[in-house]
Amino acid sequence: MAEQSAPQQHGGPGPGSSGPRPQGGGGRPGGPAKRGKRSFVRKKKVCRFCVDKADFIDYKKAEILGAFIQERGKILPRRMTGTCARHQRWLTVAIKRAQNIALLPFAAEL
Amino acid sequence: MEERQYDLIFICRPDTPEADVDKIIATIEHAAAEKGDKIEKTEKWGRKRMAYPVHRLREGFYVFMDLRSSHGEVVKELERRLKVSDVVIKYLTVRVDEELKRQAKLKRHRERRAARRPRKTAPAAPSPAGGEQAAATLS
- From the candidates A55, A60, A63, A74, which should be mutated to test the interface with B, based on the most B CB atoms within 10 A? A55
- Going through A20-93 in order, the beta strands assigned E by DSSP cover none
Question: In this complex, do B52 and A53 lie within 8 Å of one another by their Cβ atoms?
Answer: no
| Residues on chain A touching B50 (C-beta within 8 angstroms) | 102-103
Does B8 contact chain A (CB < 8 Å)?
Answer: no
B70 falls in which pLDDT band (50, 70, 90)?
Answer: confident
- pLDDT above 50: residue B51: yes
Does B51 contact chain A (CB < 8 Å)?
Answer: yes
Lowest mean pLDDT among A24-28, A76-80, A83-87, B60-64: A24-28
Q: ∠ CA(A94), CA(A95), CA(A99), 5° rounding? A: 120
Does A55 contact chain B (CB < 8 Å)?
Answer: yes
Length of chain B: 139
| Residues on chain B touching A107 (C-beta within 8 angstroms) | 52
Q: A49 with A83: CB under 8 angstroms? A: yes
| Residues on chain B touching A101 (C-beta within 8 angstroms) | 9, 11, 90, 92
Q: Number of helices (H) and strands (E), helices first, in chain A?
A: 7, 0
Q: A56 with A65: CB under 8 angstroms? A: no
A56 falls in which pLDDT band (50, 70, 90)?
Answer: confident
Rounded CA separation A85/A50 (Å)? 11
pLDDT value, residue B120: 54
Q: Name the CA dihedral angle for A60, A66, A68, A74, rounded to a multiple of 10 degrees.
A: 100
- pLDDT above 90: residue A92: yes
Question: In this complex, do B51 and A60 lie within 8 Å of one another by their Cβ atoms?
Answer: no
Where does A2-84 have alpha helices with state H? Answer: 2-11, 13-17, 21-26, 48-51, 62-65, 78-81
| Residues on chain B touching A102 (C-beta within 8 angstroms) | 11, 50-52, 54, 60, 90
What is the C-alpha radius of gyration for chain B, rounded to an integer number of angstroms? 22
| Residues on chain A touching B52 (C-beta within 8 angstroms) | 102, 105-107, 109
- pLDDT above 70: residue A81: yes
List Cβ neighbours of B13 (8 Å cut-off, separation of 6 or more): B55, B57, B60, B61, B87, B89
pTM: 0.68
pLDDT value, residue A23: 44
* ipTM of the modeled complex: 0.73
Residue A66: DSSP 8-state = G
Candidate from B52, B92, B103 with C-beta closest to A109: B52
pLDDT value, residue A93: 92
Rounded CA separation B32/B6 (Å)? 12
- From the candidates B8, B9, B48, which should be mutated to test the interface with A, based on the most A CB atoms within 10 A? B9
Backbone region of residue A56 per phi and psi (left: phi > 0; alpha: psi in -120 to 50; beta: other values): beta
Rounded CA separation A81/B44 (Å)? 33
Question: In this complex, do B52 and A105 lie within 8 Å of one another by their Cβ atoms?
Answer: yes
- pLDDT above 60: residue A25: no
- Going through B1-139 in order, the beta strands assigned E by DSSP cover 4-12, 38-54, 57-69, 88-95
pLDDT value, residue A68: 92
In 3D space, the residue among A42, A45, A52, A56 whose CA is nearest the CA of residue A89 turns out to be: A56
